[in-house]
């Protein structure tokens, strides 16, 4: 809930109707389309959205409920047919008289049905008193409608069509008054003046002044969409789906900050999701591209919707947003000014029932006049054609007749791929042509500002063609955002390697670095951070952040998928995984904390990730870049059962015991390792064995065992007397360690053996047939005495070794060995996880939900 809406709730709660304390706040326009107002249940949802998102000086714009405009159009056509039949009929002829009677009865029935639909909404939603009032008004309208239908129809064409919006606004406003806040409904014909119905050019000065008079202080205005008056005072409409345009006009009139188009789909998709199941949501759409999409038939964006928002002369900029009233918490599509990533989005749209008109008038100069007059879908100066709607045929013929030129018309359809300056990209043009395959386009044209490539087709565009073209144009289009947390040694190396990886691996083509986090500062850029200058950008532009701010951004990110790469050593950061998974965000973690947290927490993380289709990879939590996690996973996938995992899991302890030969005191060697950066700043963290214990727990869980850290016995190599000291004190007293290790070394040496810090997990024989996996496992990490010939005894200092025994690797264990730490191998391991994750994400299906279609 926004800050403003919290204020609103309180204000409504105390019933403050006399003063609008919020008048100075930015105005937001909310437009609810017919689909959002179709039933009583839908309208209740709208009330809830208004309660949560609106303040009193906002404006609500409504369309007619559901398909009411379609029904009014149908009434008009029915009445037109009836009048024509009456005119020509011979009423003395029985069958003709009967035909007229049938048509009349059908018309009466249709009016009754429409009345009944409205009555039902009224009675289901309003209390008795208010229902009576609104019902009374409805009946008066129906009486007038009946006279229009039997009178001069053409004269009342627009009066009839306007009723849907009038009823819808009146009902919603009454409901708001009854249940939410003071409200008044406004008929847009009282203030909105356009030049004429054909061009819909708004007289902004007059309209703004008249709207000011209509708005009532302290009341939420509910305004009819779709309708207006022309400058001769005639009622007119803004064309089908015109309420979106009404909303943006009204936004311009009051200098609103945002317009939200609430509809039945949670954003604009790369193709009509009702017929293209694989359509993906376009999270951010540049203004110009959105305008072109509207022009080429996208029903969510009326062709003119964008005009009032992108007025280059206006200093004011309104932000447009498309959201679903059925799913208000889901982030929809933002339309605005965006950078490179949003500009890469492609979508596919189509329009049937068009005409291609060929004429000499469309060659050369006179084409400009035709273009200005008819705003064709597309044209070609050299070939001399324009593509128009069927409705324009008559006026075009007349216009050409006055120019004394001939014209031929042929029915056509178009299919177009739309995206920022697509027509300027040879590769996209070639892909589009290939995708058309057998459709055999008559011609290919560039759209407005090169934001589309339009193929003119001789046949109606089929759903199959739409799906094929969409598939070919957008199959690689999923955009993946990457946030890197932890900019230490490994984090920096990860970023250094990133540009080359992105260049080299085509799978990563749509991967964008969008966030960098240190423990205190964050740099987030939805338009992408230049990977070649990531750290410099971070130093220059990062800001302090809180976890709340981070989570708020993450819940609104504009990517198909978001991956957080956790290269921090912090338990604190790992606590955010739960939130990440709840939001469907994926995690690649080098961080061991989450994977070795308590069974309860770990299981909750796994379950949350599964429920939200989040992925969690942590190849580098154990053994850095060594593929130990993958090996265990593979074995399990192959049907094998792991019975024993052992090895040397700590690079530090590997170095120490591989190097220690009692020739120098143990503490001298330890301080030397510290100086070389081989140990942690406090070497007790290594000597405690906790790190090895966590690693064994992680591998055990990967191998399918359920256990907790406390189920793994851990030998702490730091005696109790040194455990409570500060780091400095410990380092000063480290010689206390010397005698223990000297004795251990010499005693082993005497038996041709050596000492190594070993992790060991074994399945123990299960005499009681226990079903609990925990009972079957014995696990410990401790200093062991091993023969010098043992595989664990002959490591290169710092190397890790992992030995896996299983049903199928019983006699001859599977061994993985190599450096278990280091900048390159660890950063490389993280990159391997990134590629792996992107591979899996490439197969993830989109899920579009549309009320009434697939829900």
Ligand X SMILES: Nc1ncnc2c1ncn2[C@@H]1O[C@H](COP(=O)(O)OP(=O)(O)O)[C@@H](O)[C@H]1O
Strands 511-517 and 480-485, bridge-based pairing:
parallel
Measured CA to CA, the distance from residue 485 to residue 542 in angstroms comes to 13
Among ligand X, ligand PHD, none, partner that 240 touches (CB below 5 to 8 angstroms by kind): ligand PHD
Would you give the distance in Å from CA 704 to the centre of its chain? 34
Please check whether residue 573 is in contact with residue 565, taking contact to mean a CB–CB distance below 8 angstroms.
no
CB of 356 to ligand X, least distance (A): 23
Query: Candidates 103-111, 236-244, 685-693, 711-719 — which segment interacts with ligand PHD by CB under 6 A?
Result: 236-244
Query: Candidates 146-154, 241-249, 702-710, 832-840 — which segment interacts with ligand PHD by CB under 6 A?
Result: 241-249
SS3 state at 118: helix
CB of 334 to ligand X, least distance (A): 14
User: Per rule CB under 6 A, is residue 226 in the interface with ligand PHD?
Assistant: yes
CB of 241 to ligand X, least distance (A): 5
Q: Which pair of tokens denotes residue 426?
A: 């040879």
CB of 275 to ligand X, least distance (A): 8
Positions of E strands within 346-406: 347-358, 378-380, 385-389
CB of 338 to ligand PHD, least distance (A): 25
Candidates 57, 63, 392, 654; binder of ligand PHD (CB under 6 A) is 63
User: Per rule CB under 6 A, is residue 299 in the interface with ligand X?
Assistant: yes
Please check whether residue 807 is in contact with residue 643, taking contact to mean a CB–CB distance below 8 angstroms.
yes
User: Per rule CB under 6 A, is residue 274 in the interface with ligand X?
Assistant: yes
Q: How many chain residues are in contact with ligand PHD, going by CB under 6 A?
A: 13
Q: What sign does the dihedral 104-110-112-114 (CA atoms) show?
A: negative
**Beta carbon nearer to ligand X, 298 or 646:** 298
Strands 712-714 and 777-787, bridge-based pairing:
parallel
Among ligand X, ligand PHD, none, partner that 64 touches (CB below 5 to 8 angstroms by kind): ligand PHD
Beta-bridged to residue 803, according to DSSP, are 646, 815
Candidates 55, 117, 241, 318; binder of ligand X (CB under 6 A) is 241
Query: Candidates 296-304, 384-392, 611-619, 818-826 — which segment interacts with ligand X by CB under 6 A?
Result: 296-304
User: Per rule CB under 6 A, is residue 294 in the interface with ligand X?
Assistant: no
User: Per rule CB under 6 A, is residue 225 in the interface with ligand PHD?
Assistant: yes
User: Per rule CB under 6 A, is residue 36 in the interface with ligand X?
Assistant: yes
Measured CA to CA, the distance from residue 171 to residue 812 in angstroms comes to 79
Please check whether residue 703 is in contact with residue 636, taking contact to mean a CB–CB distance below 8 angstroms.
yes
User: Per rule CB under 6 A, is residue 64 in the interface with ligand PHD?
Assistant: yes
Positions of E strands within 464-571: 480-485, 511-517, 521-524, 543-544, 561-566
CB of 241 to ligand PHD, least distance (A): 4
Determine what percent of the chain falls in helix, strand and coil, rounding each to the nearest 5: 45, 20, 35
Point out the residue whose Cβ comes nearest to ligand PHD: 34
Among ligand X, ligand PHD, none, partner that 158 touches (CB below 5 to 8 angstroms by kind): none
Candidates 273, 332, 419, 829; binder of ligand X (CB under 6 A) is 273
Q: What sign does the dihedral 734-740-741-746 (CA atoms) show?
A: positive
Candidates 49, 271, 707, 804; binder of ligand X (CB under 6 A) is 271
Catalytic residue among 695, 702, 780, 851: 695
CB of 238 to ligand X, least distance (A): 13
CB of 299 to ligand X, least distance (A): 4
User: Per rule CB under 6 A, is residue 294 in the interface with ligand PHD?
Assistant: no
Contacting ligand X within 67-106 (CB under 6 A): none
Per-residue burial over 444-455, b = 16 or more CB atoms within 10 Å of its CB, e = otherwise: bbbbbebbbbbb
Query: Among all chains, which residue has been given the structure tokens 């799978």?
Result: 507
CB of 589 to ligand X, least distance (A): 36
Query: Candidates 19-27, 235-243, 335-343, 430-438 — which segment interacts with ligand PHD by CB under 6 A?
Result: 235-243
SS3 state at 275: coil
Beta-bridged to residue 637, according to DSSP, are none
Half-sphere exposure of 427 (CA within 13 A, CB side): 0
For residue 809, give the DSSP letter: S
User: Per rule CB under 6 A, is residue 361 in the interface with ligand PHD?
Assistant: no
User: Per rule CB under 6 A, is residue 320 in the interface with ligand X?
Assistant: no
User: Per rule CB under 6 A, is residue 62 in the interface with ligand X?
Assistant: no
Please check whether residue 223 is in contact with residue 250, taking contact to mean a CB–CB distance below 8 angstroms.
yes
User: Per rule CB under 6 A, is residue 34 in the interface with ligand X?
Assistant: yes
From residue 249 to residue 268, the character string flagging contacts with ligand X as x (rule: CB under 6 A) and all else as - is --------------xxx--x
Among ligand X, ligand PHD, none, partner that 271 touches (CB below 5 to 8 angstroms by kind): ligand X
User: Per rule CB under 6 A, is residue 273 in the interface with ligand PHD?
Assistant: no
The alpha helices in 563-708, defined as continuous H runs, are 571-574, 577-582, 599-611, 628-637, 651-659, 666-675, 684-687, 690-702
User: Per rule CB under 6 A, is residue 218 in the interface with ligand PHD?
Assistant: no
User: Per rule CB under 6 A, is residue 324 in the interface with ligand X?
Assistant: no
Query: Candidates 141-149, 237-245, 595-603, 688-696 — which segment interacts with ligand PHD by CB under 6 A?
Result: 237-245
Residue 101, φ and ψ in degrees, nearest 5: -60, -40
CB of 39 to ligand PHD, least distance (A): 14
Among ligand X, ligand PHD, none, partner that 225 touches (CB below 5 to 8 angstroms by kind): ligand PHD
SS3 state at 236: strand
Give, rounded to a whole angstrom, the gap between the first and last alpha carbons of the chain: 26
**Beta carbon nearer to ligand X, 138 or 268:** 268
Measured CA to CA, the distance from residue 771 to residue 440 in angstroms comes to 66
695 is catalytic: yes
**Beta carbon nearer to ligand X, 344 or 440:** 344
Candidates 122, 138, 188, 242; binder of ligand PHD (CB under 6 A) is 242
Measured CA to CA, the distance from residue 149 to residue 126 in angstroms comes to 29
Would you give the distance in Å from CA 43 to the centre of its chain? 25
Sequence-ordered list of residues with C-beta below 8 angstroms from that of 490, at least 6 positions apart, any chain: 567, 590, 823, 826, 827, 830
Q: Which pair of tokens denotes residue 490?
A: 């490994």
Sequence-ordered list of residues with C-beta below 8 angstroms from that of 220, at least 6 positions apart, any chain: 50, 54, 56, 58, 59, 60, 176, 180, 181, 182, 183, 184
**Beta carbon nearer to ligand PHD, 225 or 625:** 225
Among ligand PHD, ligand X, none, partner that 833 touches (CB below 5 to 8 angstroms by kind): none
Among ligand X, ligand PHD, none, partner that 268 touches (CB below 5 to 8 angstroms by kind): ligand X
Candidates 63, 65, 118, 826; binder of ligand X (CB under 6 A) is 63
CB of 302 to ligand X, least distance (A): 8
Q: Which pair of tokens denotes residue 648?
A: 């040397």
Among ligand PHD, ligand X, none, partner that 264 touches (CB below 5 to 8 angstroms by kind): ligand X
CB of 603 to ligand PHD, least distance (A): 46
User: Per rule CB under 6 A, is residue 248 in the interface with ligand PHD?
Assistant: no
Which H/E stretch holds residue 501?
helix 489-504
Please check whether residue 715 is in contact with residue 686, taking contact to mean a CB–CB distance below 8 angstroms.
no
Residue 204, φ and ψ in degrees, nearest 5: -65, -40
Provide the Cα torsion 15, 16, 18, 22; round to 10°.
-140
For residue 591, give the DSSP letter: -
Candidates 55, 241, 591, 620; binder of ligand PHD (CB under 6 A) is 241
**Beta carbon nearer to ligand X, 50 or 624:** 50
Query: Candidates 7-15, 206-214, 270-278, 742-750 — which segment interacts with ligand X by CB under 6 A?
Result: 270-278
**Can you give the binding site for ligand X, defined by CB under 6 A?**
33-36, 63, 241, 263-265, 268-269, 271-274, 298-300, 850
**Can you give the binding site for ligand PHD, defined by CB under 6 A?**
33-34, 63-64, 69, 164, 225-226, 240-244
Please identify every residue annotated as catalytic: 695
């Amino acid at each position: 809930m926004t800050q403003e809406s919290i204020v609103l709730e309180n204000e409504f709660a105390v019933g403050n109707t006399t003063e609008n304390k919020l008048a100075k706040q930015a105005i937001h326009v909310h437009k609810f389309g017919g689909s959002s107002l179709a039933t009583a249940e839908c309208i209740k949802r709208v009330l809830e959205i208004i309660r949560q998102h609106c303040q009193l000086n906002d404006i609500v714009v409504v369309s007619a409920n559901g398909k009411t405009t379609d029904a009014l159009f149908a009434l008009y056509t029915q009445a037109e047919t009836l009048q024509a039949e009456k005119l020509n009929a011979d009423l003395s002829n029985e069958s003709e008289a009967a035909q007229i009677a049938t048509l009349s009865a059908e018309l009466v029935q249709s009016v009754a049905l429409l009345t009944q639909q409205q009555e039902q909404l009224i009675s289901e939603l309003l209390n008795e008193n208010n229902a009576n009032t609104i019902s009374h008004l409805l009946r008066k309208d129906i009486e007038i409608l009946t006279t229009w239908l039997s009178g001069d129809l053409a004269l009342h064409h627009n009066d009839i069509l306007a009723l849907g919006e009038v009823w819808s606004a009146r009902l919603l406003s009454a409901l708001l008054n009854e249940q939410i806040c003071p409200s008044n409904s406004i008929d847009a014909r009282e203030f909105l003046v356009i030049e004429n119905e054909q061009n819909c050019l708004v007289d902004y000065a007059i309209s703004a002044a008249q709207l000011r008079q209509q708005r009532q202080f302290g009341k939420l205005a509910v305004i009819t969409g779709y309708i207006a008056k022309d400058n001769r005072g005639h009622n007119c409409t803004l064309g089908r789906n015109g309420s979106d345009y009404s909303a943006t006009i009204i936004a311009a009139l009051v200098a609103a900050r945002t317009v939200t188009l609430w509809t039945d789909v949670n954003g604009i998709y790369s193709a009509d999701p009702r017929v293209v199941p694989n359509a993906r949501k376009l999270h951010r759409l540049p203004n110009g591209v959105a305008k072109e999409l509207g022009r080429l038939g996208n029903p969510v964006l009326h062709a003119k919707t964008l005009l009032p928002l992108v007025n280059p002369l206006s200093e004011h900029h309104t932000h447009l947003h498309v959201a679903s009233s059925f799913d208000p918490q889901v982030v929809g599509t933002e339309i605005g000014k965006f950078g490179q990533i949003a500009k890469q989005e492609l979508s596919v749209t189509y329009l049937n029932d068009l005409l291609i008109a060929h004429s000499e008038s469309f060659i050369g100069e006179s084409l400009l006049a035709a273009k200005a007059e008819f705003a064709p879908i597309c044209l070609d100066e050299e070939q001399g054609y324009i593509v128009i709607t069927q409705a324009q045929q008559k006026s075009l013929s007349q216009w050409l007749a006055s120019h004394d030129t001939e014209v031929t018309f042929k029915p056509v359809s178009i299919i177009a791929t739309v995206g920022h300056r697509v027509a300027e990209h040879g590769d996209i043009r070639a892909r589009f042509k290939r995708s058309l395959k057998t459709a055999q386009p008559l011609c290919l044209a560039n759209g407005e500002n090169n934001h589309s490539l339009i193929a003119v087709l001789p046949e109606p565009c089929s759903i199959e063609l739409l799906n094929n073209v969409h598939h070919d144009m957008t199959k690689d289009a999923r955009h993946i955002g990457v946030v890197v947390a932890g900019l230490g040694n490994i984090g920096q190396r990860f970023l250094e390697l990133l540009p080359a990886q992105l260049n080299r691996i085509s799978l990563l083509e749509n991967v964008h670095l969008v966030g960098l986090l240190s423990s205190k500062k964050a740099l987030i850029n939805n338009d992408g951070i230049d990977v070649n200058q990531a750290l410099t950008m971070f130093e220059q532009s990062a800001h302090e952040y809180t976890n709340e701010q981070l989570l708020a951004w993450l819940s609104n990110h504009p990517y198909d998928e978001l991956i957080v790469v956790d290269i921090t050593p912090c338990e604190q950061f790992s606590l955010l995984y739960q939130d990440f998974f709840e939001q469907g965000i994926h995690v690649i973690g080098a961080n061991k904390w989450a994977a070795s947290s308590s069974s309860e927490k770990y299981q909750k993380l796994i379950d949350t990730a599964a429920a939200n289709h989040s992925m969690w990879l942590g190849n580098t939590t154990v053994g850095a870049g060594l593929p130990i996690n993958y090996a265990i996973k593979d074995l399990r996938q192959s049907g094998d059962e792991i019975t024993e995992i052992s090895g040397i899991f700590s690079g530090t302890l590997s170095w120490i015991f591989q190097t220690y030969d009692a020739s120098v005191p143990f503490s001298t060697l330890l301080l030397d390792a510290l100086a070389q950066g081989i140990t942690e700043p406090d070497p007790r963290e290594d000597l405690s064995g906790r790190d090895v214990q966590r690693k064994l727990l992680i591998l055990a869980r990967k191998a399918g065992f359920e256990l907790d850290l406390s189920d793994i016995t851990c030998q702490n190599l730091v005696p109790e007397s040194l455990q409570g000291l500060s780091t400095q004190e410990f380092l000063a007293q480290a010689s206390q360690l010397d005698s223990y290790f000297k004795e251990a070394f010499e005693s082993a040496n005497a038996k041709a053996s050596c000492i190594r810090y070993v992790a060991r997990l074994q399945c123990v024989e299960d005499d009681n047939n226990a079903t609990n996996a925990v009972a079957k496992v014995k696990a410990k990490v401790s200093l062991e005495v091993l023969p010098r010939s043992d595989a664990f005894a002959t490591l290169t200092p710092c190397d890790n070794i992992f030995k896996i025994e299983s049903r199928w690797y019983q006699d001859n264990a599977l061994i993985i060995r190599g450096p278990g730490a280091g900048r390159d191998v660890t950063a490389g391991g993280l990159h391997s996880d990134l590629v792996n994750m992107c591979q899996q994400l490439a197969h993830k299906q989109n899920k579009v939900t549309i009320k009434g279609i697939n829900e």
